[in-house]
Structure 1
């Protein structure tokens, strides 16, 4: 559990940097892109109209690292520099992941909810229904969609 949390924290640092760069939801040369259905990953060597359209439609997604042992497929160029600079700052953690033989992987930088529906049940109660891929959290999606508060925590 601790290893998973550490990897998620590193992923979140990369995601925050991509959000700040305003390219978290865009295909960038050198990105590792993930196919929506199969979760296969490929290196994006060039961005063209087809890639931009597929990204916009949610067919492919830019990814961020879940660090571990070095993978043979790596981001390149500006994306490599960004990730490398962030992860170098966590050298001890990165070394620990390697020593524990944790396999590196990639996760999409964005989550696209499916079957999204919302309706008001009462004046102050909005019901939101959606489906998410494995590994995604509904609370993270809700945090981005609406300004909400957890009533169970306010008492």
Structure 2
């Protein structure tokens, strides 16, 4: 999943839909996006997000050209979709972009600030903070909002 997001970032679609994506609503409904331009405004309004792969034998696959990005993530790991037929991993889709909720900030001292926020299950505060401060886990710059 993380490498898939890195691929999207490298090709400029970390914060944009692409044709063939599977998108999700906040309540978990997943739908096909044959034409990204038709749904991009909803993504910009935080109403939907593209989904990324948690690979497994029953994972719902996007259509091209989105599928090509997922294939690249598999190739990076030395895997193919056929490998999951032998494994017990079911697979799933997960929102590619999540947004913090319940955000508060308070100065703790002259040079220290406390930032509190909530994220959906499966999301990591370290990644959110990395985006806030433009630092990736491997120390490279990442695209920011």
What TM-score, normalized by structure 1, do the two folds share? 0.76
Partner of 1:40: 29
Q: 2:118 aligns with which of 125, 131, 150?
A: 131
Is 1:19 aligned with 2:9? yes
Q: Return 5+ residue gaps in structure 2 as ranges.
A: 136-145
Per-residue CA deviations over 1:31-78 (Å, capped at 9, x if unaligned) read 010111x112111012345x222101211001110001043x321112
Q: CA deviation at 1:100?
A: 2.8
CA distance in structure 2 between the partners assigned to 1:147 and 1:14 by the alignment: 19
CA distance in structure 1 between the partners assigned to 2:55 and 2:44 by the alignment: 27
Partner of 1:108: 95
Runs of 4+ deviating beyond 4 Å? none
Partner of 1:141: 128
Is 1:85 aligned with 2:68? no
Structure holding more helix per residue: 1
Per-residue CA deviations over 1:120-153 (Å, capped at 9, x if unaligned) read 22112111011111111112111221379xxxxx
More displaced stretch, 112-121 vs 15-24 = 112-121
Q: 1:56 aligns with which of 44, 56, 66?
A: 44
CA distance in structure 2 between the partners assigned to 1:94 and 1:88 by the alignment: 12
CA RMSD of aligned residues (A): 2.2
CA distance in structure 2 between the partners assigned to 1:48 and 1:20 by the alignment: 20
More displaced stretch, 125-134 vs 114-123 = 114-123
The structure with the larger Rg is 1
CA distance in structure 2 between the partners assigned to 1:109 and 1:16 by the alignment: 11
**Paired positions, count:** 134
Contact 1:116–1:128 under 8 Å retained in 2:
yes
